[in-house]
Structure 1
Amino acid sequence: MIKTKHALVVFGLTTVLLASNCSKNEVSSVPEHNKTILQTKQPIVSNNRLLFNSQENLIAYLKENMRKKIIDQDGFTSLSTALKNLPDKTPVSDELRDLLSFGFPQELLSVLNSKGEVRIGDEIVWYHSGKKYYIPVADESKIDQIKQKPESIDKFFDAKQIKLQSINPNAKTDIGLTATDSRYIKEFYLWGTTHTRFVHEASAFIEGTNVGTWIAYSVIRLKLEWKDCCKWNPATTIRDVSVNLTGSANLYNGTGTLPTNGNYIMGPSVSINVTDVVNSDYVVTLAAVEGYGSLLSGSHWTLRLDGSIYQYAQGDYLTNAWTNTATPMW
């Protein structure tokens, strides 16, 4: 165990999850791209999807825009914008609830459309129920029918949140295979009537690609949820948020060393000072790594973060505002 004045937080990225990237047909090379695709590294809009001519260009775009606010291009509505446009107190649809369950980093929320789609070359990538499916553009006219039977799609890879494992004595118990450890929670009654809670959690997101790579993200997520008779639900109330964190987020393999088959897209050092107005999950990327092959069993993110996080539901009692501070936070 590494002994420092900071807490050590571990996100397991098991070989099982990484090796479960699968396809009914083996994919050994990048598909041929349609010659009509513009030869540019920047995305264009095609049928309300961002179109990248290669996986490499998508990664370059994500790297260029890490922790930046990406403005939607004309003719394109991102998943991030779709969530922001939800009217206050509106129930979240099953489709959006499914997409929220992925725990996407903000960069992917800005690249995907409101249906969880992005186009790469001659394929439409669709995120659904813990997987990313590759659908040929040639089948676009019948994409709705194809989505009714995702088990019939030949090419797919895992894409999911990874549970948090922690040796921090203040950590909560793990709550499921692909869930996160909701480390900090404040429950209160919004406007004195609705049972509500702020949640500040650290989580990891990992996905495979069709070119033999994987991408792993470490993120901080700020949520507002309300409770009905039986469960907690995503809330769409407008709120003020701020995140002020410094430290590091390192990806290690099972032996405690940096994976030799991976490179940081962002990080590992962390210095974040942001303020925003939101009405859905607010996600800040700490670090991201792109790699090849499979990580060893026991691979994990190690977080050492100090600072504070603030949330306040606009129009609510000021006494319900929450400044969450600790040394360490994680």
Structure 2
Amino acid sequence: MVEKVEQRVTFSNYGEFLKTKSDLAELSEDELDLWLSENNKYSLLSYLENSDVVDNYLSGLPKVYLALFNSNSEMGIGDKVVWLHEGNLYSFEETDDIEALKINFSSLEPTGSITISSQLLSGNDISSKATLGGNSVDARYQREFRGSSKVDCSGKKSNMGSSNYTYKYIHELKTVKIRDGFTVVAELYLNIKMEYKYKNRSWKSAGEKRDINVAVQFPNITFKNAGRTIPINKVSTHYKNYTCSNNQEIRLAYTPQSYDVYYNPDSPQWEVSGSGTITHKIHGGYNSWTNYVNW
């Protein structure tokens, strides 16, 4: 059993937390691993990767978010302990009986939230420009298949599973919002992942290693709230290769500053147009899919 620990990363203020999260999103996998070894050895990311815990909400969060919390889903901001639970953020004093308060969390008032949701874009028309709400996912590109063989990173070949298992590749655009009171920051990700299910059970994240090639361009990405264009930072062109890899997340755009949602808390939208190819295959060359994407 993987041990949970109370050691947590502490930020001097909310702004430092946001800056660190944004900086981590620019790191490679190896660089992120190095940061974790030096700053958050017992991170929530490491805990989930090395345990049998299945949490649909946490598995949908970008890795950089999981890297900032400890295995108890806690971090420090100023003199507060911040706890992430089912998408809500709760703040405690260091002197509080935190574990007792967690048991009765339904009586607590959240101080913020980190929200995502997995849903198809309305209409699911692959020829149209994607318009995503502030906390939604465009998962129009999916391919199901039966597993055959796989090769691990050491070169060892094995079978993926019986015919009772179904796998699928998913290439999606995902938005994430962090809300603090009446201000929000938002990010847009290209998410490249694989899931599996046994017979008619629910889909779960798959751990087989894969080779992924990405060649995509996004000439237009804008973000609006209540009809007002919100300033964003973005990268339009992405050429990346991942060998013997897990799921990948590529940040396409983000709001460098918080924007106010006091009058219109649920109206933000990303408008996206982009195209290119994503090639996804099980390491060893099996079940290859070249996906011609068009958002």
Q: Same fold (TM over 0.5)?
A: yes
Matching residue within 292, 302, 311 for 2:271: 302
Task: Report the alpha carbon displacement of residue 204 of structure 1 after superposing the two structures with TM.
Answer: 1.0
Query: Are positions 1:320 and 2:287 aligned together?
Result: yes
The answer as to whether partners of 1:99 and 1:128 remain within 8 angstroms in 2 is: no
Distance 1:75 1:106 in 2: 13
Q: Give how far 1:202 is off.
A: 0.9
Q: Residues 187 and 75 (structure 1 numbering): CA distance in 2 closer, same or farther, change over 3 Å?
A: closer
Q: Which amino acid aligns with 1:93?
A: V
Tell me how far apart the structure 2 counterparts of residues 111 and 231 of structure 1 sit (CA, whole Å): 28
Q: Which residue of 2 aligns with 1:54?
A: 13
Cα distance in 2 for partners of 1:179, 1:253 equals: 15
Q: Which residue type is aligned with residue 304 of structure 1?
A: S
Alpha carbons 2:195, 2:203 under 8 Å: kept: yes
- The root-mean-square deviation of aligned C-alpha atoms, in Å, is 3.1
In structure 1, the partner of 2:145 is: 188
**How many equivalent residue pairs?**
261
Task: Tell me by how many angstroms 1:319 deviates.
Answer: 4.5
Is the 8 Å Cα contact of residues 164 and 203 (structure 1) preserved in structure 2?
no
How many Å apart are 1:153 and its aligned residue?
2.6
User: What is the one-letter code of the residue matched to 1:79?
Assistant: L
| Structure 1 unaligned regions, length at least 5 | 1-45, 87-91
1:217 matched to 2:187? The reply is yes
Structure 2: distance between partners of 1:245 and 1:81: 30
Shift, 1:75, TM fit: 5.4
How far does residue 197 in structure 1 lie from its aligned partner after superposition? 0.7
Q: Deviations over 1:138-189 (max 9, x none)?
A: 22xx3333222212334432321155645762279x9xx9663321111111
Cα separation, 2, equivalents of 1:242 and 1:222: 10
Letter of the 2:21 counterpart: L
State the distance in 1 between where 2:254 and 2:135 align. Answer: 18
1: CA distance between counterparts of 2:72 and 2:222?
32
1:55 Cα deviation from its structure 2 partner: 0.7
CA distance in 2, matches of 1:225, 1:164: 16
Q: Does 2:80 align with 1:123?
A: yes
The aligned residue for residue 207 of structure 2 is 236
Partner of 2:101: 146
Q: TM-score, normalised by structure 2?
A: 0.76
Residue 227 in 1 paired to residue 192 in 2? no
Q: CA deviation at 1:128?
A: 1.4
Per-residue deviation, 1:251: 0.6
Q: Does 1:169 align with 2:125?
A: yes
Partner of 2:151: none
Contact 1:188 1:197 in 2 (8 A): yes
How far apart are the structure 2 equivalents of 1:250 and 1:284?
Answer: 17
- Secondary structure of 2:70 counterpart: coil
User: In 1, Cα distance between the equivalents of 2:214 and 2:63?
Assistant: 14
Q: Give the deviation of 1:245 after TM superposition.
A: 2.1
Calculate the TM-score normalised by the size of structure 1: 0.68
Q: Which moved more, 1:306-315 or 1:285-294?
A: 306-315
| Aligned equivalents of 1:125, 1:272: Cα separation in 2 | 34
Structure-2 separation of matches of 1:286 and 1:167:
23
Closer, same or farther: CA 117–240 of 1 in aligned 2, 3 Å:
farther
Q: Is the 8 A contact 1:243 1:272 kept in 2?
A: yes
Q: CA deviation at 1:65?
A: 3.4
Structure-2 separation of matches of 1:312 and 1:321? 4
Between 1 and 2, higher relative CO (CA 8 Å, sep ≥ 6) is seen in 1
AA of the residue aligned to 2:93: P
Structure 1's 75 and 226: CA in aligned 2 closer, same or farther, altered over 3 A?
closer
Partners in 1 of 2:45 and 2:240 — Cα distance? Answer: 17
Instruction: Give the direction of change, closer, same or farther, for the CA distance of 1:270–1:118 in structure 2 (3 Å limit).
Output: farther
Cα distance between partner residues in 2 of 1:57 and 1:178: 23
Tell me if structure 1 keeps the 8 A contact 2:143–2:168.
Answer: yes
Match of 2:240 among 274, 281, 290: 274
Q: Secondary structure at the match of 2:95?
A: helix
Is the alpha carbon distance of 1:309 and 1:84 closer, same or farther for their aligned partners in structure 2, counting shifts above 3 Å? farther
Whether 2:257 is the aligned partner of 1:283: answer no
